[in-house]
Amino acid sequence: MAELPLTVDVAAVNVAQRIAVMDDGATVHLETLLDADGEETDDADEARSAVGQLPDGSWLAVDLTQFETQASN
């Protein structure tokens, strides 16, 4: 079994593009978006959490409610 990192910090998320940016600048593709009921969704506005696979094969769960929403220009 692979050794898990001590911390995995997500610095920013672009839900529409399904990308999480880690604190070291690496990006992770968010494979699944989940709504408030835990159901899969493709609607970025309805997504409350997301899951993506890290390069080492472990999985990252992101609580999207912890990030501020900002409109892009």
Whole-angstrom distance, CA of residue 40 vs CA of residue 36 = 10
Locate 60 and state its tokens: 């990252």
- Token match 């992770």: residue? 28
> pTM for the complete prediction?
0.82
Whole-angstrom distance, CA of residue 42 vs CA of residue 28 = 17
User: Dihedral through CA 23, CA 27, CA 31, CA 37, nearest 10?
Assistant: 30
Dump pLDDT digits (tens) for 59-70.
Answer: 999 999 999 887
Dump pLDDT digits (tens) for 14-70.
Answer: 999 999 999 989 999 999 999 999 999 999 999 999 999 988 899 999 999 999 887
CB atoms closer than 10 angstroms to residue 60: 16
